[in-house]
Amino acid sequence: MVRLVTAAFVISLLIIVLLIEVIRRGNKNRTILEENEARYRDLAHAGANIFWEMDPNNRFSYMSGDSSLFYGTEISNILGKTLDQLCKRNPRIDFEWGKYESALAAQKPLNNFILKVRLPTKDINIFVINGKAIFDKLGAFQGYRGISKNITHEHLLSQKLAYQANYDELTGLINRYSFNSRLKAHVEQDSRSGSCYICFLDLDRFKLVNDTAGHLVGDAMLAEIAQLIEKTIGEHGVLGRLGGDEFGLIILDQSQAQAQSLCEEIIEEINAYRFHWNQRLFNVGISIGMVPVTGELSVTELLSKADLCCYRAKDLGRGRVYIANLDSDDLYDEQLQMGYIANVAQAIEQNQFYLVKQLIKSSDSMHKNQSHYEMLIRYRDEQGKIIAPGLFIPAAEKHSVITLIDQWVLSTVLNRYDDFFPQGNTQVSINLSGMSLSNENFVSEVKRLLTQSTVSPELICFEITETAAISQLGKAQEFISEMKSLGIKFAIDDFGSGASSFGYLKNLPVDYLKIDGSLIRNIVSDSSDRAIVEAIHSIAKMMSMKTVAEFVENDDIIKVLQEIGVDYLQGYGIEKPQACE
């Protein structure tokens, strides 16, 4: 009997111990479950995600996370409903419902479906949904389990970036990138119809508005002008802002006469427009270049020609339309020029510029104590073809990149002086553009280069044209004075080519007058040319200047110049330009 009681007691005790262990393990598992639940909830909140499960009827049966970020309501109001019921679908705004429902019907994975939800506040939430179908051990479908992420902010940001990539923020017009894409499409589609035209529009006198009233006022005016042009063209074209105060216009389904009439209407509207600011009125004009779209020209070539036509319209007096004649080469040289100087820095880096030297010889055969050369720049294009300075120099001046070329020439001469002139004691003449005279950065660069060089400044002579000296007399005086203080010499180039007088020479302390070749070529047979050259030489002597005759091509010319007493001679009759070794 005692044994039976003892056995029963031991069994009861074991049962109690087992129950305690089961309870302990149950509490532990419950704690783990609660911790996991909290962990998932925290992760969901941190990542703007929700974890969810659906039953076999695709109704939400479980959800963890902040459901208000998706559906604008609590989880209790979501469970038991389908996604279709929650989203209040609108065919005009929803993304991928068809694909989503097809995946559900086939019990396939839900991979990155993007859907929209209209909130009670009428706002729209956008989210991406991922999930997998759940099956039991027997293969019976149990529903879906997955995760959703709110991507509203990312989507709106993407839309904003897409807008900024294609539209100009100030005017609301399409930007250059989008305009080029539209033009390319029309080139491919309309090139055979002959009813499509590309126009380049550039405002006249707009810089005056920015300079006098400020850029904020200029921007406001620019936005109004864009609206005015867009209203004027109506449905006849596509308008884009190419940058600054430049616009591009594609005119569609119009004859040349109609396209020209539309451009003239734009000009009239802009001329009549007035911008009111701070009790002041501002007005601008506009010049337009127009080119017919054909399959023979690429988008780049069309825009380039339209740009050149616009420049031609400005040259002819502004406020007008200039239409390209594709059967004529009237814009060919200008187009070449623009291509040559499109990237001066790259041309310098790739050694497309190089120098040659031409002797400036003393007319006195006894005077040979110092050599004198003029440095001449040449340009070699990508195909190795030599381009004449008469093509790329005017373009570089027109597009304000000539100072970069001037700096390169001076730097190259100073760095390679000993290679070019191993005999030493050689005076070197370097041509400068009028733009460089007024460029403060160029003055600083000259000083820096001279400081770093072992070449004496007294061996350098800057040549500036008579036209540049007269048109910027004040700047020329300042520049020459500052450079001569360093020891640099100066020459007035092409003297006598214009209708100027000798008066301004009194204010320019130059060392040489280079007599223009137009006065030298016929000096043997034309007595008036000889008289002018004699007068120039006489005045130069009175002012302690030396004279240099250009375009000296034969012995007869040399003889006449020696009779006059011209100090130096330069031209093919003396020596052709030589490569710098």
Q: Which residues participate in catalysis according to the annotation?
A: 245
> How many other CB atoms are there within 10 angstroms of residue 470's CB atom?
16
As a whole number of angstroms, the distance between CA 577 and CA 389 comes to: 13
- Nearest one of 540, 440, 532, 449 to 486, comparing CA atoms: 449
* Token representation of residue 397: 């001046």
- Nearest one of 158, 153, 86, 74 to 118, comparing CA atoms: 86
Cβ(361)–Cβ(567) under 8 Å? no
> How many other CB atoms are there within 10 angstroms of residue 485's CB atom?
9
Q: How far is CA 518 from CA 464, 514, 526, 540, 571, in A?
A: 17, 12, 11, 18, 12
Residue 80, Ramachandran bin (φ over 0: left; ψ between -120 and 50: alpha; else beta): left
Cβ(299)–Cβ(184) under 8 Å? yes
For the chain, the residue count is 581
Helix ranges restricted to H, 47-128: 68-71, 83-87, 97-105
Q: Output the CA torsion sign for 378, 381, 386, 390.
A: negative
- Nearest one of 492, 486, 520, 518 to 505, comparing CA atoms: 492
